[in-house]
Amino acid sequence: MTEIPERKFYLRQFKAIVHALVTYDDLNLLMKHIVEGTCRRFEAKGCSIMLLDEREHQLIHVRSHGVSEEFLRKGPVVVDEKHCALYTEQPVYIEDLRKSPHAQYPDAVAKEGIVSMLSIPIKSRQATVGVLRIYHGERYEFHEEDVDTLCITSEVLGMVIENNGFKNFLDSVKMALANLPLRLLEGL
């Protein structure tokens, strides 16, 4: 008989996470707290938020905790369309990353002491914009409801990231308009 893994997220923790997601003004600080909190909650070796660079077709580390700078600089993380949570739009769990044919840098994974990885898609509206990756130094079994909670958290994070991008765009448009001569603003 298989033992059910211990749950790590309950309603109280989920409410605190969602409250933080919708009230933080500083996106970098929010992502820092997400990766640190995820590591603590799941006793993970590390956690990364990676966003898609659509032009280069690769994932870019934007915030990490628990993994070395050397691991983060191992090289570009090219997107595998068949097995990446980014394209499957579903959580992807790799039980032993050291032996997985999907590991792009198995030597770096082994050197970092990473065994298993859960990758959760970060979605915004109809698009998947990145992944949240949780790394463990041993095989780790997640409770199904914790995976669901991580998926919902990642969706809200995706909306926050997109809204932050829109805000930055609008701020730059406002600055550009403020620098135009008044005669050019007539009729706008």
The pLDDT of residue 168 is: 64
Average pLDDT, the chain: 86
**Mean pLDDT calculated for residue range 162-186:** 70
pTM, to two decimals: 0.84
What top-level class would CATH report for the domain 11-180?
A: alpha beta
Average pLDDT (17-42) is 89
Could you report the per-residue pLDDT of 38-72, keeping only the tens digit for each? 999 999 999 999 999 888 889 999 999 999 999 99
DSSP string of the chain, one letter each residue: -PPPPPP---HHHHHHHHHHHHH-S-HHHHHHHHHHHHHHHHT-SEEEEEEEETTTTEEEEEEEESS-HHHHTS--EE--TTT-HHHH-S-EEES-TTT-TT-S-HHHHHHHT--EEEEEEEEETTEEEEEEEEEESS-----HHHHHHHHHHHHHHHHHHHHHHHHHHHHHHHHHHHTS-HHHHTT-
Going from N- to C-terminal start, the domains of the chain cover 11-180
pLDDT digit string (tens) for 64-116?
A: 999 999 999 998 898 877 778 888 889 999 999 888 888 889 899 999 999 99
Q: Per-residue pLDDT for 179 more than 60? A: yes
Point out the least confidently predicted range of 60-64, 146-150, 183-187. Answer: 183-187
